[in-house]
Amino acid sequence: MHSTRRAETFPANTPAASQVFTTVLSHGPLTRLEAARRAGLSPAAVTKAVRPLIEAGYLTEDADAEARPTLGRPANPLRVNGGRALFIGAKVTGDEIIGVLTDLCCQVRISRHVPLSAPDPRAVLAALAALVQDLMTEAHGLGAGVLGLGVAVSGDVDRGAGTVRYSPFLEWRDVPLAELACTTTGLPVTVDNDVRALTVAEQWFGAGVGLSDFAVVTVGAGIGCGLVVHGRVVAGAHGVAGEIGHVTVDPAGPPCHCGNRGCVEAIAGDAAIVRQVREATGLTVADTGDALALAHRGVAGAREVYARAGAAIGRGIATVANLLGPERVIISGEGLAAHDLFAEQIRDAFGAAAFGSAARCDVQTRPLPFEQWARGAAATAIQSFIRADEQRPGR
């Protein structure tokens, strides 16, 4: 995270305070006693930790009039005051930037698309600045300040340093994006890999809440994977992890741009599906919309392509499950528009290839609008804001 100006800071001085806040953020309204239990603290600690947070307006206590027990002093459930702070999340793709304005609870308030003429850093930065400007003026009407900007980019991103080390899609190398964006927008900036950002959103606000080991698999132009192990998102020693897209599922399969054959992505990625449907049907197939339409119209060749894609994805997920034994795998991404065409095959292939207890892993599909990518970026900004001065416990 980078920031120049003296930005508003989060008044969670102690580990316990940060812990409690995160717990309440993820687990909805909680009484102090429940929060204490969940965070592994004493009630007294919660009371102390919570006071400055309430005073600063980040937490509120609302005696929930309904649903109260018949006996004893009624509880004052704590909840995060979403409207207290706003964040901007932006996802940069090859041809556009998707931006969202979210509140502290990562609820999307406003979303915007900005087309990109060229994906070079200069143009992206200009578009990003305009986008942020736009969203910040909108934010004025909401009565809260924008406290951070998260940017999600595909590829090798060093979140700690705030730099994009290498993004094949954008053809960037060693771009200090956080620093640049910070100087143009004046906001504290967090830069992270797009799939990891989405994983953070799921971990704090989605289907990964409360789980210490799970995976997010995204299906779309590429096949990506975000991993949470021991309660933390895996970044890998070299900043890259979760490359499920290039797991080989069939050495005799179609060639992949990565140089191998039969990668998941070469079978189930958008481009691969379009190509395969075209070859199978002999018809004109311009994009995944066309491919999908053909399959939905019942064209056998197209359906088979999706079935094979599902099997490839299922086998890729089984590989993750076999290696890491996650509690849950969340399948998501635009590719899920074809959900009905390959969900069964995913499940079957997973079941066949998952070994022993790994098969007990809960595989969920979670269709997700494209703006969720930008929401993931906002989630990283929220995370950075809350943990502003926290250190990672190395070791």
Partner DNA sequence: AGGATTAATTTCCGCTGTCAATAAAAGAAG
Partner DNA sequence: CTTCTTTTATTGACAGCGGAAATTAATCCT
Residues in touch with DNA (CB under 7 A)? 13-17, 31-33, 40-50, 63, 69-77
| Window of 49-57, 116-124, 316-324, 369-377 that interacts with a copy of itself by CB under 8 A | 316-324
- Out of 67, 143, 356, 389, name the contact with a copy of itself by CB under 8 A: 356
Locate all alpha helices (DSSP H) within the chain, ordered by sequence: 15-26, 32-39, 43-55, 121-140, 177-185, 194-205, 264-268, 270-281, 288-296, 300-324, 339-353, 372-386
- Partner interacting with residue 338 (select from DNA, a copy of itself, none; CB below 5-8 Å by kind): none
247 binds a copy of itself (CB under 8 A): yes
Contact indicator for 132, 117 with CB cutoff of 8 Å: no
How does DSSP assign 250-319, residue by residue? -TTS-B-TTS-BSBHHHHHSHHHHHHHHHHHH-S---SHHHHHHHHHTT-HHHHHHHHHHHHHHHHHHHH
160 binds a copy of itself (CB under 8 A): no
What is the rounded CA–CA span in Å between residue 276 and residue 260? 17
- 72 or 394: whose CB is closer to DNA? 72
Bridge partners, residue 152, by sequence? 91, 192
166 binds a copy of itself (CB under 8 A): yes
Contact indicator for 164, 190 with CB cutoff of 8 Å: no
- Partner interacting with residue 69 (select from DNA, a copy of itself, none; CB below 5-8 Å by kind): DNA
- Out of 2, 84, 91, 315, name the contact with a copy of itself by CB under 8 A: 315
- Out of 236, 255, 289, 369, name the contact with a copy of itself by CB under 8 A: 236
For the bound state, the minimum distance from the C-beta of residue 40 to DNA, rounded and expressed in Å, comes to 7
30 binds a copy of itself (CB under 8 A): no
Which residue's structure tokens are 């199978």?
280
Structure tokens at 175: 């771009």
For the bound state, the minimum distance from the C-beta of residue 368 to DNA, rounded and expressed in Å, comes to 35
Structure tokens at 234: 């895996």
Contact indicator for 127, 97 with CB cutoff of 8 Å: yes
Residue ranges in 75-134 that form contacts with a copy of itself under rule CB under 8 A: none
- 188 or 326: whose CB is closer to a copy of itself? 326
- Partner interacting with residue 251 (select from DNA, a copy of itself, none; CB below 5-8 Å by kind): a copy of itself
Residues that contact a copy of itself, how many (by CB under 8 A): 54
For the bound state, the minimum distance from the C-beta of residue 393 to DNA, rounded and expressed in Å, comes to 12
What is the rounded CA–CA span in Å between residue 377 and residue 395? 27
- Partner interacting with residue 282 (select from a copy of itself, DNA, none; CB below 5-8 Å by kind): none
- Partner interacting with residue 60 (select from DNA, a copy of itself, none; CB below 5-8 Å by kind): none
307 binds a copy of itself (CB under 8 A): no
The edge-to-edge listing of strands for the beta sheet with 189-193 is 108-115, 96-103, 86-92, 146-153, 189-193
For the bound state, the minimum distance from the C-beta of residue 246 to a copy of itself, rounded and expressed in Å, comes to 4
What is the rounded CA–CA span in Å between residue 99 and residue 85? 17
What is the rounded CA–CA span in Å between residue 197 and residue 64? 33
Long-range contacts formed by 136-144: CB under 8 A, 24+ apart: 136/88, 138/101, 138/109, 138/110, 139/86, 139/101, 142/83, 142/86, 142/101, 142/109, 143/83, 144/83, 144/84, 144/85, 144/86, 144/103
- Out of 31, 107, 184, 248, name the contact with a copy of itself by CB under 8 A: 248
Contact indicator for 199, 244 with CB cutoff of 8 Å: no
- Partner interacting with residue 357 (select from a copy of itself, DNA, none; CB below 5-8 Å by kind): a copy of itself
- 46 or 330: whose CB is closer to DNA? 46
227 binds a copy of itself (CB under 8 A): yes
- Out of 213, 304, 348, 371, name the contact with a copy of itself by CB under 8 A: 213
**Residues at the interface with a copy of itself (CB under 8 A):** 40, 156, 165-166, 168, 211-213, 225, 227, 229-232, 234-244, 246-252, 258-260, 315, 319-320, 322-327, 352-353, 355-358, 360-361, 394-395
